[in-house]
């Protein structure tokens, strides 16, 4: 009986430990983001207060400044938001079309050097953005497409294609071959078989690949910071730096813009999460 008791105590102890560890991990994940959100609603005086004020008051000053035209320090947030949206949506749409056809080729056809093609594509993705930005900056300047939406869209399409191929390859592979064979026996062409049978099955997977591509473009900084210069094409990650002057930083304004950046991303994450994991693991494990 004594042994039973110590055993039970040990188990209870482990349970408490497990809970504590989990709680710690989750707080470390959540607190930095929440802190940004909380501070976007606090007046600047309170953010800068020394000693710190611990119970936050509520003010919409930063949002009002951000959306009220030019905003504090003249940061044109609306233009940045629009640029980000245009560039991300268009580049995602193109990347998905190109990536889907590539992914389909990898999933359905056998050809020589298949894995080499695949790794080759991935290696292009591995080129660091900063390193790529140097020659792109020069080439784009010569072509006159620096500081335009078109240039940035082109770059983001190239950046998203390899990963889209990886994901869609995984999704198409999960669909049994018999499905499109049956459709072809019933008189569909391969093209029709794809759009009428295979695409609807893989649709949710493709959608999550699209959301992933969208987020990559939405969040990208290294290339955008060099390839965009003016209000007409700067995206939000680049615009975030507008709040920093040489020695002063508008913390509250930055927090507000950060919230504006992260809200769409979080909403999309909720939608995508299940398929994303499935796509990555299927593409990787069952290759």
Partner 1 sequence: MFRRRLPEWFVLLLPAIIVMAAVVLIPLLFSLYSSFTAYRLTRPSSLWRWIGTANYERILTDAKFWAAFGRTVLFLTIVLNLELILGLGIALLVNKVTWGQRTLRTVLMFPMMFSPILVGFQFKFIFNDNIGLVNNVLQSTGISDAALPWLVDGKLAMFSIMFAEIWMSTSVFAILILAGLFAMPRDPLEAAKVDGCTSWQTFRHITLPFLMPFIFIAMTIRSLDVARAYDIVQIMTGGGPARRTELIWTLMSRTGYVDARMGLANAMGYVSILLSILFTIYFFHKLSAARAQLGTGG
Range 200-229, binding partner 1 (CB under 8 A): 215, 218-222, 226
Q: Which of 124, 276, 130, 285 is nearest to 215 (CA)?
A: 276
Q: CA–CA separation, 21 vs 24, rounded Å?
A: 5
Q: CA–CA separation, 4 vs 206, rounded Å?
A: 54
For the segment 225-254, give every residue that binds partner 1 (CB under 8 A).
226, 237, 240-241, 251, 254
Contact segment (CB under 8 A) with partner 1 among 2-10, 51-59, 65-73, 198-206 equals 51-59
Q: Could you say which of 8, 10, 18, 64 contacts partner 1 (CB under 8 A)? A: 18
Residue 1: HSE in the Cβ half-sphere, 13 Å Cα cutoff: 0
Q: Could you say which of 33, 56, 176, 232 contacts partner 1 (CB under 8 A)? A: 33
As beta bridge partners, residue 244 has: 249
Residues 6+ apart with CB under 8 A from 187: none
Whichever of 120 and 232 has its CB closer to partner 1, that residue is 120
Whichever of 9 and 281 has its CB closer to partner 1, that residue is 281
Binding-residue total with partner 1 (CB under 8 A): 91
DSSP string, 159-186: HHHHHHHHHHHHHHHHS-HHHHHHHHHT
> Smallest distance, Å, CB 235 to partner 1?
10
Whichever of 119 and 185 has its CB closer to partner 1, that residue is 119
Any contact of residue 123 with partner 1 (CB under 8 A)? yes
Q: Could you say which of 88, 92, 149, 162 contacts partner 1 (CB under 8 A)? A: 162
Q: Could you say which of 67, 117, 188, 192 contacts partner 1 (CB under 8 A)? A: 117
> Smallest distance, Å, CB 38 to partner 1?
10
Q: Could you say which of 8, 10, 21, 70 contacts partner 1 (CB under 8 A)? A: 21
Q: Could you say which of 75, 146, 213, 255 contacts partner 1 (CB under 8 A)? A: 255
Q: Tell me the C-alpha to C-alpha distance, in Å, between residue 175 and each of 66, 95, 104, 169, 186.
A: 47, 22, 11, 10, 18
Q: Could you say which of 61, 129, 174, 231 contacts partner 1 (CB under 8 A)? A: 129
Q: Which of 236, 258, 249 is nearest to 35 (CA)?
A: 258
Q: Could you say which of 26, 45, 60, 185 contacts partner 1 (CB under 8 A)? A: 26
Kindly state the tokens that stand for 45: 């005086």
Q: Which of 145, 139, 105 is nearest to 121 (CA)?
A: 105
For the segment 65-84, give every residue that binds partner 1 (CB under 8 A).
none
Residues comprising the chain, all counted: 287
Any contact of residue 126 with partner 1 (CB under 8 A)? yes
């Amino acid at each position: 009986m004594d042994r039973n008791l110590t055993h039970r105590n040990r188990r209870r102890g482990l349970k408490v430990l497990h809970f504590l560890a989990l709680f710690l991990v989750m707080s470390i994940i959540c607190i930095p983001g929440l802190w940004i959100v909380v501070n976007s609603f606090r007046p600047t005086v309170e953010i800068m207060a020394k000693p710190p004020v611990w119970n936050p008051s509520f003010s919409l000053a930063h949002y009002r400044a951000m959306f009220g035209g030019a905003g504090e320090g003249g940061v044109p947030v609306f233009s940045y938001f629009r640029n980000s949206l245009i560039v991300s949506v268009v580049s995602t749409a193109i990347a998905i079309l190109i990536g889907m056809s590539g992914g389909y080729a990898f999933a359905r056809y056998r050809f020589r050097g298949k894995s080499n093609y695949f790794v080759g594509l991935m290696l292009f993705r591995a080129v660091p953005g900063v390193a790529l930005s140097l020659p792109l900056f020069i080439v784009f300047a010569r072509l006159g497409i620096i500081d335009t939406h078109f240039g940035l869209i082109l770059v983001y399409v190239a950046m998203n294609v390899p990963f889209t191929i990886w994901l869609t390859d995984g999704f198409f592979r999960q669909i049994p071959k018999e499905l499109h064979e049956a459709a072809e026996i019933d008189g569909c062409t391969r093209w029709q078989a794809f759009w009428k049978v295979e695409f609807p099955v893989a649709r949710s997977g493709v959608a999550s690949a699209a959301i992933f591509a969208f987020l990559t473009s939405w969040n990208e900084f290294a290339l955008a910071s060099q390839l965009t210069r003016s209000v007409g094409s700067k995206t939000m990650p680049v615009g975030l730096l507008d709040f920093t002057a040489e020695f002063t930083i508008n913390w509250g304004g930055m927090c507000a813009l950060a919230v504006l950046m992260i809200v769409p991303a979080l909403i999309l994450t909720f939608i995508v999460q299940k398929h994303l994991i499935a796509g990555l693991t299927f593409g990787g494990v069952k290759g």
